[in-house]
Amino acid sequence: MARLPKPTALKEFHGNPGKRPLNKTPQPPPLEDVPKPPAGIGKYARRFWLENTAGLYYTGRLTVLDLAAWREVAKIYQLLCQAEDELALEGALTMETDNGLRTSPALTIRDKQHDRYMAGLREFGMTPVSRERARGEAPEKEDELTALLKAVA
């Protein structure tokens, strides 16, 4: 997977080290308040929305344009949890009359939804690596000796 481009705000914060022209496209407006869960989503998606949306809102990672994608991540979480429930009931293997054992369709669904769910979390900076990439490198701190030498010079 290729690295995503660094946001313009981070490039400006770090002084545009590459000296390339910055993208000056206007950013979408921020939300006025933490959005409520949309109607018609399942119980798992609703729980996911309530547990995670406020965190994105307060860190400034959720804008008006992001709500549709965030709703999709919640729906993916719903499907993932439903597949987990199905696996808990029937197990990872199912018995067929003529072919013996085979992998449960719920396991295939769960694996696919897990990949999609993790991709959605990365898009919103909700994994440790994606948070670190969004934060960027911290500016180098001067040690005490360097600061003292600069003050004397």
pLDDT, tens digit (0-9, with 9 covering 90-100), for 29-84: 888 899 999 999 999 999 999 999 999 888 888 889 999 999 999 999 999 999 99
Q: Which of 55, 80, 53, 81 is nearest to 67 (CA)?
A: 53
**67-90 vs 105-123: helix crossing angle, rounded to 10:** 150
Q: Which residues contact 5 (CB under 8 A, 6 or more apart)?
A: none
Which of 45-49, 109-113, 130-134 is least confident? Answer: 130-134
Residue 120 Cα distances to 42, 74, 89, 92, 151, angstroms? 18, 9, 27, 25, 49
What residue spans define the domains of the chain?
8-16+34-136
**Is the pLDDT reported for residue 13 higher than 80?**
no
Would you list the DSSP string of 18-33? T-PPP--PPPPPBPSS
Q: What is the pTM of this model?
A: 0.72
